[in-house]
Structure 1
Amino acid sequence: MKLGAYSCHQIYERSFTFRGYQFPVCARCTGLFLGNILGVFLSIIKIKINLKISLLLIFIMAFDGFLQLLKIKNSNNIRRLLTGFFAGIGYVFILVNIVSYFI
């Protein structure tokens, strides 16, 4: 079993490779993980992103995936990485907004 197999489809064409080795997750999931890391860092240094912006960041990734699913527009790994990255930030700040609402 490959690392990341439970959370990612790991399609070779949609994954980055380094020196002949495929990343354990696709480009979009790579972006999500990197965005999560940056989002946590931003929240630690007290930068805030409101709920509407967070949802928009996630919507952009979902819209890109939907266009690709319907074969309206082909996505590429750079766009998948970027949309995943911004959605990862959005996910973190949705959680930050939910937690701060209840605190």
Structure 2
Amino acid sequence: MVPCHRKKERCLTIRGYTLPLCARCTGILGGYLFFPILIAFHLQLPIWLGLLLNIPMVLDGWTQKMNYRMSNNPLRFSTGIMCGFGQSVLIVGISEGIVSYIL
């Protein structure tokens, strides 16, 4: 089960259908779609880039939680995609590093 709050007002609605996950989680899952591309084309992006791509989502979520500002679904979705892509970069980079160390 995906740990998502699934608040209806934070979920994306497409053609009258409300998605079951919030905009941020939907973006993260969308960002994970880059994972097979990175693997298939042997793209090794730097680990620091993967870490850097996670920062916008963390800042967006934290500033919203602390009531410094109100976020919106397009921003949640876009920072989620960046985070999912960043996590894909981290997983590929760390996995390939472990494999090359073992072999």
Calculate the TM-score normalised by the size of structure 2: 0.87
Distance, in Å, in 2 between the alignment partners of 1:21 and 1:79 is 20
Aligned equivalent of 1:93 = 89
Q: Does 1:83 align with 2:87?
A: no
Residues 59-74 of structure 1: matches in 2 within 5 Å? 59-74=55-70
Aligned partner letter, 1:83: T
Distance, in Å, in 2 between the alignment partners of 1:41 and 1:24 is 26
Q: Sequence identity, in percent?
A: 34
Distance, in Å, in 2 between the alignment partners of 1:17 and 1:47 is 33
Structure 2 residue ranges without an equivalent (≥5): none
3-state SS of 2:80 partner: helix
Distance, in Å, in 1 between the alignment partners of 2:13 and 2:39 is 31
**Aligned-residue offset at 1:55:** 0.5
**Aligned-residue offset at 1:27:** 0.4
3-state SS of 2:75 partner: helix
Distance, in Å, in 1 between the alignment partners of 2:57 and 2:20 is 20
Stretches of 4+ aligned residues off by more than 6 angstroms: none
Residues 1-103 of structure 1: matches in 2 within 5 Å? 6-103=2-99
Q: Between Structure 1 and Structure 2, whose CA radius of gyration is higher? A: 2
**Aligned-residue offset at 1:85:** 0.1
Distance, in Å, in 2 between the alignment partners of 1:84 and 1:8 is 13
**Aligned-residue offset at 1:74:** 1.2
Whether the 8 Å contact between 1:54 and 1:91 is mirrored in structure 2 is yes
Distance, in Å, in 2 between the alignment partners of 1:69 and 1:53 is 25
